[in-house]
Amino acid sequence: MSQSSDQMELKEELIREKYMAAESLLTGFDHTPRLAAKKDVTPAASAEKSPGIGTRRRFRSTTPGLVTKSTARPEGVHVVDRILASSPEDNLTSAVEGAVTHALRRALAVAMLVSDQYADQTGLSELLKENLTGKIPAGRSAEFTELLAASSLISLHVFANMASFLLSNIHAEASDVTIDVGDVEEVLTDNPHLALTGALWELDQDLAVFADTEDKMVAVVEAFLEQLMDKVALRANNTARLEPFTSVNYRVEDDDFEINGFTPTGRAKSTKLTMSFKKPHQVVGNHIAKYQAMKLSKMLMAYDFERKLNPFAELGGFIFTFMGDGMPGTGKTTLIQMMAGLINDYCSNAGYPFRYENLSTESIDSYQGKSAQNAKAFIRNVIDPNVIGFGTIDDIDQLAGKRGDRQSSAGQLEITAVLMESFAGANTVVRGNCTFGMFSNYPENVDDALRQRAAARFLVDGPKSKEDYIDILHLLMGKNHDIPVGDHDLYAAQEIKKAVAASYDSHARPHEEGLIKVFDQMNKKIGKLDTIAKLGTYLKGIQEADERFTGRAVKNITDAVKVRAMDFELPDEWMENVDLFLAKDYETKKNMISELSKPITIEMVVQEINRYADSEFRYADKSDEAAIENAVRDMGRMEEAKKRYLASRKK
């Protein structure tokens, strides 16, 4: 992978200079926990396999001249010994144990180097020297504390991020074992060294509790690193002076590893897809949904792997999250198969890694925190900035719990919380390399706040016209017949541009009864909706009719309007011949896209307000009707229970 001009390369010789310090942390140190509770574990350095056989040998570096003797007490922290103790029946270091140890050492070395460079950039290095002599100016003590806290979080995240990256292949080859180690608690921000020793102390504790086999040892390390990254990224949201780190992208050339702020870095691997792909003409009806899915598939391909940004995300009009809803059997699965197939084909032609992930009901786990861990892994795999990602959540009403609903399990509510934070949280970064689709037959059962995080709405309503039904019958009949088509122009009704134009025009007026009343009242009160002020008044009228119509809804509408301004498909030849577009640099791509954009019109805005508000009113009506039906059913049960109770009393 070529190095981008805005990336800072971490020199290999500087990394190796940190090996001695990194190795000393792994072989032994003393640490008194401050935030986490100490567990009852046997010191790794004093554990013996059997009478007459001493402890496992110390890890010996292959780098000449390095000191490997530990000065820590036997009851101190000896991570290397703990790793080697995962297979006590073998006196020799296995390939997996060696790989884990070397990965941790290299990640620690890189973390120390990045921390040093941050200190040089921010003036922390000078403050550290002044602190040794006790001469820090009184006015800079707060700055010193803030810089140390920022440097500590940087060290922790870089360490966890790179170690997880280096271990990603090891775990896949070792086994499918997964272990929930719980939250990481010993996250210290006094200084980078103490931060790393605190993290390694807690890792040592988890290894002692869970890692009684080699497979479990790898799983524990991986799980710990993921939890550490999540905890540090969360802390970084409220930490000052991080801009010098987040504004620079670092690269370790020998490992093909990149550091982009507090975003986890995964290996650029494609997933193997076994689904049956569908062609656009095989999606009958669903004109707007199909059109937007086709556009979005090509939008993703504009992503620039060097800049780590998509011009559509910068210009506006990129769909990061969308919801497809409709009755059972209207074609939601077919739409997923079509979109995944298009992206897969485009990526194969361009040589881009493509990763498809589906969050299924199997992700709900009875163990506390495991469901959230599964959801985070799903998000992490899709948002990886080194791949083109497509994540789907089918039947989201079953997967994500509705807050306040007593029937929602703890696991479902965990998934809801993770999705809400990931789709529109303080940590959310929309690079334009991935998109998430939520699909449901019953969107009214989806938590309101989660549903509103779907910026775009795809109404998957299936075949509607006579022509649609003829087309789908012919399509599903296959070729094993000689029945004539008759008086019908096959698939002419599926001509996408004509059908989409008609669908958009139909939203000049609302479709749902509740919204129609608001629309007509506003037209009588303020006249034609032809100014920003009138449109804002209309939006306020919608909010008065449905209090769930908030500022987030307005943002989603404006995002949809920007999508309409980009109401064009990138030419097919741009996808087929990479030299025409995909291989261009970022600025050239951006200019080519800008030339195709259209001005925003009042008609677009009105149509998108009606489209979005229609979906909210549709969901609200269904939700209310479902609640009424449940209440009637409960009342009927109570009435019958009273009759039986009175009858039993008479006896």
- CA torsion, ordered 153, 9, 203, 54, to nearest 10 deg: -140
pLDDT band (50, 70, 90) for residue 6: low
Mean pLDDT of the region 78-86: 91
Structure confidence at residue 48 (pLDDT)? 46
* Token pair for 575: 């996808």
User: In this predicted structure, which of 10-14, 60-64, 449-453 has the lowest mean pLDDT?
Assistant: 60-64
Structure confidence at residue 612 (pLDDT)? 86
Phi, psi of 498 (to 5 degrees): -65, -45
The angle, 0 to 180 degrees and rounded to 10, between the axes of the packed helices 410-424 and 370-383 is: 30
Helix, strand and coil content of the chain, in percent to the nearest 5, comes to 55, 5, 35
Sequential DSSP letters for 179-195: -----------S-HHHH
51 vs 577 pLDDT, higher one: 577
pLDDT band (50, 70, 90) for residue 174: very low
Distance (Å, whole) CA 501 – CA 355? 32
Show Cβ contacts of residue 66 under 8 Å, excluding neighbours closer than 6 positions.
Answer: 19, 20, 23
Decide if pLDDT at 208 tops 50: yes
Decide if pLDDT at 611 tops 80: yes
Taken in order of first residue, the domains within the chain and their CATH numbers are 10-260 (no CATH), 280-506+551-598 (3.40.50.300)
Decide if pLDDT at 510 tops 70: yes
Q: Judge whether 485 and 474 are in contact, CB under 8 Å.
A: yes
Tell me the pLDDT tens digit for each residue of 400-444: 888 877 778 888 898 999 999 899 877 788 999 999 999 888 887
pLDDT cut 70: percent of the chain above it = 86
DSSP annotation of 433: S
Decide if pLDDT at 59 tops 60: no
User: Ranked by mean pLDDT, which of 282-286, 372-376, 506-510, 579-583 comes out on top?
Assistant: 579-583
Structure confidence at residue 44 (pLDDT)? 67
> pTM for the full model?
0.65
Structure confidence at residue 494 (pLDDT)? 64
pLDDT band (50, 70, 90) for residue 176: low
Average pLDDT value for the chain: 84
Structure confidence at residue 272 (pLDDT)? 65
Structure confidence at residue 78 (pLDDT)? 92
CA angle, residues 24, 27, 28, in degrees to nearest 5: 85
